Amino acid sequence: MLFFSFFRTLVDQELKNGIEVKGFLKSMDQYLNLKLDNISMITDEVKFPQLVAVRNLFIRGSMVRYIHLNPQSISTDLLQDASRRGK
Amino acid sequence: MSFFGFDTSGPPKADKDLQTLDFEDTYEGLGEHPEEEEDAFNDETFGADIKTGRDFDFGTAQPQAQHLSYAQAAQKPIVEDVLKPMASLWSDQTVPEQQPQRAPTSGPKVLSLEEIEAQLMGRPVQPPQMMQPQMYGQNGYPFIMPPNVNPQQFQQFQQQFGGQLPPGFMFPPQGYPGQPPMFMPGMPNQQGIPPQLQQQHLHQFQQAQAQQAQQVPAQFQVQHGQPQGPPQVQQVQQQQQQQQQQAQPVHPQAQAQAQAPIPAPAPQPQAPAQPAETQAQAPAQTPAPSQPQSAPRAQASSNGQKLPLDEFPVLGSASVREHPTQPAQQQSYQQRQYSQHSQNPQYLQNPQNRGRIQRPRQDLTPEEREKLIIRSNKVARITRSSGFMTPRDKDFVTRFQLSQIVSQDPFNEDFYHQIFKILRNPGGGAEDMSYIAQKYLDQSGHRLGGKNRRADVALQRMQQQISKAVTVAKERGERTGTLAREGALGKVSIGSIRQPRKQLVVKRSENATEDELKQLNRNPAKISKFTRQAQLNIIEKVYSILLGLETLEREAKPISTEELFEALHVLDVVSDEEEHPFISLLGYEKGMRLFSRCFHLLTPDQKNACLLCLFGNLQKLNVVLRGSYKNYETSNFVIPEAVEKKINVFQMTVMKTLVLYISEASFEQVLRFIIELESSNSVLFVCTSKIGLSLITVLISRLELIKQESNANLSEAELEAWSLTYDKLFANLEERLVLIYPPTLSSSKSASFKPDDDSYIWQFLASVALAGKLQHQRVIVDEVRDEIFGIMGKARVLSEEGNSLDSAKFIGNLNLFLNVMGLKASETDISEL
């Protein structure tokens, strides 16, 4: 599965989910559940005060809307190849 | 000796009026009789538990005999089976035994229950004693609870005692629920009693002795001359064992008595052991429905008593010895046991148990002890839930998780990750089982095998599990897809990393599939080969072939490039109006990338064919066609950004590949290319584009290089052909050489001071001049004289403005050309080198 294979390479990447969290990708599984470490909130902390003190997160894969990635850590050619193979 | 705080020395101080029996008081000094020395074979003659120094009046001495038997048993060695009393002496003994019982029994029977109750209520200070009455009732008062009493009665009796237990009372907590079966199977039969049970009897006996000392009227004891107080523990144990052994012959008698009209129970001192035995065995052998309460309680209490705490580690270590090669299992086993204890707070509160947990530190100050308690409580909290899973369970879960991650063919199924790792970390890309295992261990955070040591062992185990997991996953992969049911929309499928569970699987019938495929195939046939769609299709097809070939290449397997070459459509013949499919591929950025990736895979012939095709259709090449400034007269000859970008990509990919290949091509090959280029293209048009001009430069330079390097190796015909070709080429350009300068770059026409990108023009002129003769050079210089001086003028201006860097760049590019002819330009004039 391409996504899994892809995200496996993205350890230490910056991610944001629905509430927009930024952190280091610790690990993930085949359901694209994510484990983040050293997280910080991107959306204002007044809105989600309960997350201010949280340092690491487990996010259920189905709850993630977007994952923003650092372009430098992605090989687009390889990603294209991998997508082609995914058929 | 005291056990569980029980004072064996005498009755509790609360009952002062009861007579205290001391060993010295009751001892008659029988052991000091001188004639004992000659009693060597007395045991064999009379049996062990016969009171010496008395007559054998069993009738009157009955209650006493009960106690005597214990004392005398101590005189016998443990290996006692051979020392059974002679059958002839004992066979008729049962008859006198049974007769006189009633008198002594009736007294204590009524008293005992109430007295015990009273004691229970009155002595909460000694909890260990509190559970004794139950046993005591079975053991100490054989006449009350004979073995052949009916079950209801017995149960009632026990319930009474059960109800009297203080509400907060609990049995000693190490009621290892899993352990009784561990030793129970070791019992040979009903009579055989495991050592633990013997211990139980020991304590029962101790209690019985003490309590009886309180309760039995003094005169009664005196009358019967009860000789011994609480005996020493080891003695008692021996007695007890002996008693067990002797209980066997008595047992049938007890059975026989059950049918006797008199409910009077077994008179034998051994008889009391029977209820305890059956009681303890009941939970192991039969569910004992008639004693629902008593059975578990007996088990619990007997566990609490009979299992000396010191035996606990022995049990654990026994399992260690059984599995010396499985440290993890052993560890978890012990952990499990520990956690069972820790779930019961009383276990930790029990000082003895705590002492075991922290055995090395037993002599501690109260504060340290306090800390220790806190710590062990903490540990208990942490480990409360540990040990729920057996090693098997853990293995299963691990395998299940691994089977999702691990794949047999990582390069196929985990392509991106694998290749990415190789790209980012060349050399360390060797992916094997140990890597996965290591990774998994890191990620899951569990260390098999402890902190530091045995990491390699854990790794090995993980690897074994992985290979298992791969097998499982493979088998499952074969299974999936077979579960689709006819007529059902969905199918039962197991999701995996490679095959995520599908929401909907529509099964098409075989016939329909073929028809639909035909339908689908018909449509592409209608699509012209020359539409964008078809061209992109070609590229994708080439890609998939290429990826397959690259996989083969990685695995160092032989490659056949026939299919790839076919897919490139290099040899296709098309009419002049139509775009060659191969050339059209190079019009797309991904086509350009594709070309440079698959070019090295092709055979030399195929490469040659590719280049011939490319040079033959050079003017139709997108980057040449669109890259010529002539297309953009309306927009002041400025090449659009999109085209510029494509040109850049082409230079980075295709040009790079071509230059590399041509720089190693033979003279003949290159000559063919340039002839092909000349014959089928408008050279002038090609030269108006950057790519075209660069390609021609590459070809001419290569030819000249070979010519000058190895003049002797070239045949006359080849040199002749090259000379002709050059002349033709030059004739095409003669008098129109200025056209190669795009207006945006031409120094004479444009005011642009951008120093970039005119180097390719000077390189072209240099190569043409190099290959040409003096007259050619003169023509060239004549035609581009304005450009030369224009550049020099620009450089001068820039230099005056202080931008000497750009100025030097202009002059440097110009000198690329002038140097070929032995000239050198500066900002002001041109001199000879």
- Domain boundaries of chain B, sorted by first residue: 740-832
> Are B415 and A82 inside 8 Å of each other by CB?
yes
Confidence at residue B374, expressed as pLDDT on a 0 to 100 scale: 92
Count of Cβ atoms closer than 10 Å to residue B121 Cβ = 11
What is d(CA B336, CA B350) in angstroms, rounded to the nearest whole number? 19
Closest chain B residue to the Cα of A7, Cα to Cα: B417
> Is A80 in Cβ contact with B544 (below 8 Å)?
no
Per-residue 3-state assignment (H helix, E strand, C coil) for B784-799: HHHHHHHHHHHHHHHH
- Contact predicate B792/B825, CB 8 Å: yes
| Token couple for B221 | 């004891």
Q: Which residues of B touch A82 (CB under 8 A)?
A: 415-416, 419
> Given this model, what pLDDT does residue B137 score?
39
Judging contacts by C-beta atoms under 8 Å, the chain A residues touching residue B418 are: 5
Site from A6, A9, A36 to mutate, B interface, most B CB atoms within 10 angstroms? A9
Record: contact A5-B415, CB cut-off 8 A: yes
- Tell me which fold the domain A2-85 belongs to: SH3 type barrels. (2.30.30)
Evaluate whether ipTM surpasses 0.90: no
CB contact under 8 A, B497 and A75: no
**Cα end-to-end distance, chain A, whole Å:** 10
Which pLDDT value is given to residue B134?
A: 42
Which site among A1, A31, A75 would you substitute to test the B interface, given the most B Cβ atoms closer than 10 Å to its Cβ?
A: A1
Q: Which residues of B touch A (CB under 8 A)?
A: 404-405, 412-421, 423-424, 443, 495-500, 540, 543-544, 547, 590, 593
With beta carbons under 8 A apart, name residues in chain A contacting B423.
Answer: 75, 78
CA distance B4 to B200: 13
Cβ-defined contact of B498 to A87 (cutoff 8 Å): no
Question: Which residue out of B413, B420, B653 would a mutagenesis test of the A interface target, given it has the greatest number of A Cβ atoms within 10 Å?
Answer: B420
Each residue of B702-729: b (16+ CB within 10 Å) or e?
bbbebbeeeeeebeeebeebbeebbeeb
Mutation site, B397, B416, B502, interface A, largest A CB count within 10 A: B416
The token pair at B52 is 């010496």
Give the whole-angstrom CA distance, residue B307 versus residue B301. Answer: 10
A80–B590 C-beta distance less than 8 A = yes
Chain A residues interacting with chain B (CB cutoff of 8 angstroms): 1-2, 4-6, 8-9, 27, 29-30, 75, 77-82, 84-85, 87
Question: Which of B415, B476, B494 should one mutate to test binding to chain A, selecting the residue with the greatest count of A CBs within 10 A?
Answer: B415
A77/B593 CB distance under 8 A: yes
Higher pLDDT, A54 or B446: A54
Out of A27, A78, A79, name the one closest to residue B443 (CB): A27
Q: Which of B613, B620, B603 lies closest to B564, judged by CA?
A: B603
Q: Do B414 and A81 touch (CB under 8 A)?
A: no
Residue B3 gets which letter from DSSP?
B
- The low-confidence residues of chain B, meaning pLDDT below 70, are 1-40, 42-362, 398-413, 425-459, 462-463, 465-466, 468-529, 711-712, 745-757
**Do residues B328 and B449 lie in contact, with contact meaning Cβ atoms separated by under 8 Å?**
yes
Determine whether the interchain pair A75/B423 forms a contact, defined as Cβ–Cβ distance below 8 Å: yes
Contact B547 A85 (CB under 8 A): yes
Q: Which residue from A5, A77, A78 is facing B414, i.e. has the nearest CB? A: A5
Cβ distance A6 to B443 less than 8 Å, yes or no, reads: no
Are the Cβ atoms of A5 and B590 closer than 8 angstroms? Answer: no
Its pTM surpasses 0.80: no
Q: Do A84 and B547 touch (CB under 8 A)?
A: yes
User: Cα–Cα distances in Å, from B527 out to B1, B520, B566?
Assistant: 104, 12, 19
Across the interface, whether the CB atoms of B497 and A77 are under 8 A apart is answered no
| DSSP letters for B313-334 | HHHHHHHHHH-TT-HHHHHHHH
The Cα of B547 is separated from the nearest Cα of chain A by a number of Å equal to 7
How close is the nearest chain B Cα to the Cα of A45, in Å?
Answer: 30
Q: Cα distance from A20 to chain B (closest Cα, Å)?
A: 24
User: How far off is chain B from A54, nearest CA to CA, in Å?
Assistant: 20
pLDDT, residue B7, reads 56
Taking an 8 Å cut-off on Cβ atoms, the answer to whether A4 and B443 are in contact is no
For B415, the closest of A27, A30, A85 (CB atoms) is: A85
Residue B610's closest CA among B621, B623, B625, B595? B595
Is B419 close to A81, i.e. CB distance below 8 A?
yes
Phi, psi of B683, deg, nearest 5:
-60, -35
Closest CA relative to residue B249, chosen from B93, B135, B138, B75:
B93
CB-closest option in A9, A84, A87 to B417: A9
CA distance B781 to B825: 13
pLDDT of residue B457: 67
CB-CB under 8 Å, A78 with B417: no
Instruction: Tell me if B413 and A30 make a contact (CB, 8 A cut-off).
Output: no
Domain boundaries, chain A: 2-85
| Cα angle A3, A68, B424; round to 5 | 60
Comparing alpha-carbon positions, the chain B residue that sits nearest to A74 is: B420
Chain B residues close to A30, C-beta within 8 Å: 404-405, 495-497, 500
pLDDT for residue B661? 92
Count residue pairs from A and B with Cβ separation < 8 A. Answer: 59
Chain A CB contacts of B593 under 8 Å are: 77
Residue of chain B whose Cα is closest to the Cα of A87: B544
Contact B419 A78 (CB under 8 A): yes
d(CA B819, CA B808): 15
Provide the token pair at B626.
Answer: 């669109």
CB atoms B417 and A6 under 8 Å: yes
To test the contact with chain B by mutation, choose from A81, A83, A87 the residue with the greatest count of B C-beta atoms within 10 A, namely A81
The answer to whether the CB atoms of A6 and B416 lie below 8 A apart is yes
Which residue does chain A place closest to B414, by CA atoms?
A: A5
Q: Which among A5, A29, A84 has the least Cβ separation from residue B417?
A: A5
Please tell me the distance in Å from A60's CA to the nearest CA on chain B: 16
- Bigger pLDDT: B83 vs A29: A29
